[in-house]
Structure 1
Amino acid sequence: MMSNFYANEEINSKIEFILNEKLLENKEIKFGYFIISKKDLNDICIINNHPEWFDLYVKHRHQMVDPVVLKALSRVESFDWDEEIMISSKLVLPKVMLHAKEYLINSGHTFIIHDYKNNLALLSIFNHETIKKERGTLLNIEKQFSLFVKIHQKLLSLYEFFEKNNKTSSINITKRENEILYWAAIGKTYKEIAIILGITEYTVKFHMAKVVNKLAAVNAKHAIRLASDAKLITTPPIK
């Protein structure tokens, strides 16, 4: 398992809070939100409120033989499950199920998303009896799934922003490039920047093109936004 696979604690804590507040309405319900790479099932992150069970789950790599995960890989519709899934799967997988029983994980409902990052995202809510008791207070299945989709998109967006910032924060911006970025960010035209800095408009464009390339931006406006988001732009000294 890759140690950095969706492993940002700040982001994951934020998502766990949203799951509890928005999806489960702060009810005392155990859940596991799995993000698993479909390229390599060893790459897994589980955001959950039952760490005693899921730490063991990851340690033993139960996702490799978990009938719930295996079933979810070949479908898109959510499903209820219980211990009978072992029998219907026609697999002899005693370890994962025996461990689950020790932690009172006997049944549940699992939502499925196959995302554009080639991940399998699952939200499993435990246990079946708890779900039955809470059915009247929990949101209906369709609304739960809709919220899960939004939460998963939120997680992907947060990680994309985090990765982009990590990438741009290591980029070296020269003094001249910073000056041009600064004045462009506050709305000055190339011609105005050239006058302010005492250089030609061609030179302004030349340096901006270098910044666009460094940040792998689409254009100058995109480069300015990326540099601003990554806090690469500093106020130049007044001459």
Structure 2
Amino acid sequence: MFFKNELINKKVKEYLEENMLKNHKNKFGYLVIHKKDFHHICIISNCPEWFDIYLEFNHQLIDPVVIKALSRVEDFEWDENILISSKLALPKVLDQAKTYDISRGHTFVLHDYKQNLAILSIFDDRPLKTNDFFIDREKMYLLLVKTHQKLLSLYEKFEIPTKKNIGLSKRENEILHWASIGKTYQEISKIIGIKECSIKFHMKNITNKLGAINSRHAIKLAYELKLLKQISYAF
């Protein structure tokens, strides 16, 4: 499940509410979306009624704020104009958002090492003619960074006991050992006497077993979880 632990998410929400600085009374939405599959989404917010509808209709697939955040690293303000100018058919989204007084806001963006897009949006429910929607951008961006790191850290601690039950086969352990000391696939192929394509196949299986991003990440996780076993050298 994609960041679906209720206890962890409750802690993150409390952390956000405690540190929302000057705009703590504003509605906010902290969204984490996997950039390769937008159906993997986690939302932590103080306006759950709106985001329940948001998830029900998969609005993240067409949300112009999310789409804009994908190609940015800098924060940005938005209002109804960004929704209208997106050229997407969004009348239903607009109407639903207005029901919950969400028609403009300020969004902060973070791209993490797990291919996730993390955004923190602060919503302003005052009339559009009001121009005093003040946001301390530096502090709010730092809050997003700290919140997201807290989320990742809590989930890594939560996942470790489960991953300890993952076992590597003798062949997988052998390949991971040689890869961990810097050997290339071609070199490993010569050392253990199997084809290079087989090395790649085993490494892909190892990566999938550990839920790693790539082979380097798999090696790091294997060390942390003490999955690597000593191998005997036959020279």
Q: TM-score range by the shorter chain?
A: 0.5 to 0.7
Instruction: Work out which of the two has the higher radius of gyration on C-alpha atoms and give 1 or 2.
Output: 1
Amino acid at match of 1:43: H
Q: Return the alpha-carbon distance in structure 2 between the equivalents of residues 6 and 38 of structure 1.
A: 14
Query: What's 1:82 paired with?
Result: 79
Change (3 A) 1:41 1:217: closer
Offset at 1:86? 1.9
Cα distance in 1, alignment partners of residues 40 and 62 from structure 2: 14
Shift of 1:128: 5.6
Q: For residues 56-78 of structure 1, what are the alpha-carbon distances to aligned partners after superposition, in whole Å with 9 as ceiling and x for unaligned?
A: 00000000011101111111111
**Match for 1:23 among 14, 17, 20?**
20
| 1:92 Cα deviation from its structure 2 partner | 2.5
* 8 Å CA contact retained: 1:20, 1:26: no
The answer to whether the 8 Å contact 2:119/2:144 transfers is no
Judging changes above 3 Å, is the alpha-carbon distance between structure 1 residues 128 and 108 closer, same or farther for their aligned structure 2 residues?
farther
Q: SS at the partner of 1:76?
A: coil
Q: Which residue of 2 aligns with 1:151?
A: 147
Residue 67 (str. 1) matches residue 64 (str. 2): yes
Per-residue CA deviation, residues 43-68 of structure 1 (Å, 9 max, x unaligned), is 11100011110000000000001110
Q: Does 1:108 align with 2:105?
A: yes
Q: TM-score, normalised by structure 1?
A: 0.65
Runs of 4+ in 1 over 4 A off after TM superposition: 130-134
Query: In 2, are the aligned partners of 1:11 and 1:158 still within 8 Å (CA)?
Result: yes
How many residues align structurally?
A: 172
- C-alpha distance 99-149 of structure 1, shift in aligned 2 (>3 A): same
**1:47-62 map, 5 Å:** 47-62=44-59
| Cα distance in 1 between the residues matched to 2:41 and 2:21 | 23
**Partner of residue 163, structure 1:** 159
CA contact (8 A) 1:65 1:96 kept: no
Which residue in 1 is equivalent to 2:223? 218
Structure 2 unaligned blocks of 5 or more: 168-220, 227-235
Q: Which runs of 5+ in 1 are unaligned?
A: 173-215, 224-239
